[in-house]
A = this chain, B = another copy of it.
């Protein structure tokens, strides 16, 4: 289904405990929720089923002391979701880690790339 995603570069997956990790997918969902105000919209935006998006959110909420995402149903805006303070913090820290990693390995990265075959055929 989703095709040309996963940008080139370093992809970071933070394994905090065995089977408890946060990677590019969960980070993007957090960001999507922050920007759209809903799990459904965040999922749609990244071509992911609502169920899958919701499941990831549910997992994250279970793993941290405080939920990362808080949701509401019905009401004036017909429900929605937003990041808690912890959610904002986790997202910010993950992005920072991505940045730090990118800088730290930039030089090695270039050297690795120079070993690649052309593949433009």
Contacts and interface: CB of A to CB of B under 8 A. Distances in A.
A10 B13 contact: yes
A115 B16 CA distance: 10
A12 B15 contact: no
Number of copies: 2
Given A63-B119, A100-B108, 19 more contacts: A7-B15, A8-B15, A9-B15, A10-B97, A11-B12, A12-B105, A13-B13, A14-B109, A16-B113, A20-B116, A64-B116, A65-B115, A65-B117, A94-B112, A97-B104, A97-B109, A101-B101, A101-B105, A104-B104
Does more than half of chain A's interface fall in helix, strand or loop, or is it mixed?
mixed
A9 B17 CA distance: 8
Contacts of A93: 108, 111-112
